[in-house]
Amino acid sequence: MAFIAKQMVGNQLKSVKGALGDKEEETEEGGEGEAGGEDPEIVQARLEAEEKRKEKHRKMEEEREGMRQSIRDKYGLKKKEIPAEEEPLGAEGRIGRKKKTQAELAAEANADSDDDEFAKFPSNLSELTAKVSEIPSKLADSVGEVTSKCTVQ
């Protein structure tokens, strides 16, 4: 029943749309011949709104930076400096991770191609074995110290 009602209403809407004239038909026929089919005043208003939005966000970011600086001063933290060459252009409104620089990509490629780490493995294994063998004696010494200092009352 619902299907039939939907079909009837849908057909009526299509006929009303056709009577009013579709926007697609106007643009295909050429419309008024304006660039983009929009009124220049609307385009100007949209640009002004975008500028206002950017200015609002810039002011908010300045306020946030002031807060961050006061927190840094309060707790004695240093501001992380980003070198100018690594700073991506237009990153102030970017969502997600930053793009890697050419130097980072090259270093990553070199790290992937190096097989020298496997050559170091046996020497690291012997050092690791020596450290592991020292653990029981150190553990026994520390337990002995703790038990000698602690008394049950």
In terms of phi and psi (left: phi > 0; alpha: psi -120 to 50; beta: otherwise), the region of 101 is: beta
Q: How many CB atoms lie within 10 A of CB 122?
A: 9
pLDDT tens per residue, range 24-64 = 544 444 444 445 678 999 999 999 999 999 999 999 999 99
Domain boundaries, the chain: 38-76
Q: Which residue has the higher pLDDT, 149 or 69?
A: 69
pLDDT at 19 over 90: no
Distances (CA, A) of 26 to 42, 46, 57: 19, 23, 38
Mean pLDDT of 84-98: 62
pLDDT at 100: 81
Q: What is the pLDDT of residue 117?
A: 54
